[in-house]
């Protein structure tokens, strides 16, 4: 029996250092802790990093996706095509706008949404495609954009997992009408909670900014009449989805470390690949030839998933499963979705295990995971 770790190793974790803490403290000592200059500084830094013209920050990634659906003009009667293997927010954002979600099955190798399945799912009511970069590997954006362009469909790129990744030599953030990045603590950089939409379209940028601030504007170029210095107008039904300056300061500090974080994630993924490639009972994550993942998650697939999962947890390896197909959720079943409608997604879900992967992991942590997987998968032959 392999000896268990003394502590539970999580599948993901933030890495906050003294520079990050100092950046937040500086804001706390300043005149603005929300709606201040740190927001624009962070937005400009994100836009510059990914090569976009504009970035609009939000209190979390879900709010950012909601805003993107609003800016894309999605509403009742529209359909939005997305993947079932993602977090709930990727499809919920369309429901928030009254649209119908249409789930397209996944590619059996990359686990991202399959462009062929998207094409089959498109109807004359399709308003948008939400393409998700599962685990940090970009979706096939060239093919998805071609499908959308020919039909006048908006593309919202859910890149919550893929900050720092690239596709066809271009950084994620330069594809689609809008791209969302998430800054939850397990993501590549964190603001605690937080999200951003990047875009090259000034009209979309303006709509996003209004939506996060109650649908309100003080911009004299947008007002319906000239007003007094205090005058503002609510021109749409928006939400309070603003990011704080404290979040933005943390994000700006974290962003300076992003390339190093991504390098470490790739190093760990390479060690896992080398350790598991000869294990016949383990399916390794396969990479698309045009994609360079930033490795938010490392997912293996095994036939006896539940037993392997339990053994790994017993050894204090904090494995997880990403994700339960969204249409299986009780709420979605209540909307009429079948709980077995995407066979590739079903097979993926029944066999997937997410291993720990985050930059703060030590080499010893990585070795603990490798030994535990080898033990757990080969348990019956070594018992």
Do residues 176 and 272 share a domain?
A: no
**Same domain as 190, residue 155:** yes
pLDDT of residue 44: 98
- Structural domain harbouring 166: 18-255
pLDDT of 366 > 70? The answer is yes
Residue 6 lies in a domain: no
Q: How confident is the model at residue 28 (pLDDT cuts 50, 70, 90)?
A: very high
Q: Is residue 12 part of a domain?
A: no
- Residue 150: the pLDDT is 87
**What's the CA gap between 186 and 61, in Å, rounded?**
13
216-217 and 233-234 beta bridge pairing: antiparallel
CATH of the domain at 367: 3.90.1150.10
Spacing of C-alpha 158 from chain mean position: 6
Residue 381 has pLDDT above 70, yes or no: no
In a domain, 107, yes or no: yes
247 & 306 share domain: no
Distance CA 247, CA 182 (A): 12
**Does 247 share its domain with 283?**
no
The active-site residue out of 187, 205, 360, 371 is 187
239 and 265 housed in the same domain:
no
In a domain, 13, yes or no: no
**Mean of the pLDDT values across residues 10-37?**
98
Residues 284 and 213 in one domain: no
Q: How many domains does the chain have?
A: 2
Share of the chain above pLDDT 90, in %: 97
Q: What b/e string do you get for 134-150 counting C-beta neighbours within 10 Å, with b at 16 or more?
A: bbbbbbbbeebbebbee
* In the predicted structure, residue 161 carries a pLDDT above the cut 80: yes
Say whether 187 is catalytic: yes
d(CA 150, CA 28): 49
- Residue ending a domain, among 255, 281, 307, is 255
Where a domain ends, among 228, 255, 282?
255
Residue 116 lies in a domain: yes
Assess whether pLDDT exceeds 70 at residue 253.
Answer: yes
- CA 311, CA 250: separation in Å to the nearest integer? 37
In this predicted structure, the answer to whether residue 380 has a pLDDT above a threshold of 90 is no
- Across the chain, what does the average pLDDT equal? 97
In this predicted model, what pLDDT tens digit does every residue of 83-125 receive, in sequence order? 999 999 999 999 999 999 999 999 999 999 999 999 999 999 9
Domain co-membership, 155 together with 201 = yes
Residues 183 and 251 in one domain: yes
Task: Determine if the peptide bond prior to 249 is cis (ω within 30°).
Answer: no
> Are both 221 and 266 inside the same structural domain?
no
Tell whether 36 and 89 lie within a shared domain.
yes
Whether residue 332 sits in one domain with residue 281: yes
Per-residue pLDDT, averaged over 335-348, amounts to: 96
Residue 347 lies in a domain: yes
Q: Is the pLDDT of residue 382 over 60?
A: no
- Give yes or no for residue 383 having a pLDDT over 80: no
User: How far from 26 is each of 76, 131, 246, 248, 249, CA to CA, in Å?
Assistant: 45, 37, 9, 12, 9
Last residue of one domain, picked from the residues 255, 288, 323: 255
Under 8 Å between Cβ of 56 and 43? yes
Considering the domain boundaries, does residue 68 fall inside one? yes
Considering the domain architecture, whether residues 114 and 96 belong to the same structural domain is answered as yes
Distance CA 249, CA 33 (A): 10
Mean pLDDT of 47-60: 98
Dihedral in degrees, nearest 10, Cα atoms 218, 223, 228, 229: 20
Residue 10 lies in a domain: no
- Supply 2's token pair: 């392999």
């Amino acid at each position: 029996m392999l000896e268990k770790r003394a502590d539970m190793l999580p599948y993901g974790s933030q890495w906050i250092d003294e520079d990050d803490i100092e950046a937040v403290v500086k804001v706390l000592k300043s005149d603005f802790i929300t709606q201040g200059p740190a927001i624009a500084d962070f937005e400009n830094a994100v836009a510059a990093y990914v090569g976009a013209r504009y970035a609009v920050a939000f209190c979390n990634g879900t709010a950012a996706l909601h805003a993107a659906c609003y800016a894309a003009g999605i509403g009742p009667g529209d359909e939005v095509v997305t993947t079932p293997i993602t977090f709930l927010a990727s499809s919920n954002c369309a429901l928030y706008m009254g649209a119908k979600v249409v789930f397209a099955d996944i590619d059996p190798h990359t686990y991202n949404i399959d462009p062929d399945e998207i094409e089959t799912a498109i109807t004359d009511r399709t308003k948008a495609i939400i393409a998700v970069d599962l685990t940090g590997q970009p979706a096939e954006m060239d093919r998805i954009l071609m499908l959308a362009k020919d039909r006048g469909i908006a593309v919202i790129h859910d890149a919550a997992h893929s900050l720092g990744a690239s596709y066809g030599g271009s950084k994620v953030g330069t594809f689609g009408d809008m791209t969302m990045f998430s800054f939850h603590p397990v993501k590549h950089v964190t603001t605690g909670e937080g999200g951003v939409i990047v875009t090259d379209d000034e009209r979309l940028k303006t709509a996003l900014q209004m939506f996060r601030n109650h649908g309100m504007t003080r911009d004299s170029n947008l007002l319906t009449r000239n007003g007094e210095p205090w005058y503002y107008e609510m021109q749409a039904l928006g939400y309070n989805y603003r990011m704080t300056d404290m979040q933005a300061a943390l994000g700006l500090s974290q962003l300076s470390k992003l390339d190093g974080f991504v390098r470490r994630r790739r190093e760990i993924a390479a060690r896992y690949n080398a350790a598991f490639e000869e294990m016949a009972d383990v399916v390794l994550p396969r990479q698309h030839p045009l994609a360079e993942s930033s490795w938010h998650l490392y997912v293996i697939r095994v036939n006896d998933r539940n037993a392997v999962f339990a053994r790994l947890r017993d050894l204090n390896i904090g494995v997880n499963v990403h994700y339960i197909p969204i249409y299986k959720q009780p709420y979605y079943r209540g909307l009429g979705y079948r709980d077995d409608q995407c066979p590739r997604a079903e097979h993926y879900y029944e066999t997937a295990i997410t291993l720990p992967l985050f930059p703060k992991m030590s080499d010893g942590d990585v070795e603990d995971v490798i030994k535990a997987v080898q033990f757990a998968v080969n348990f019956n032959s070594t018992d």
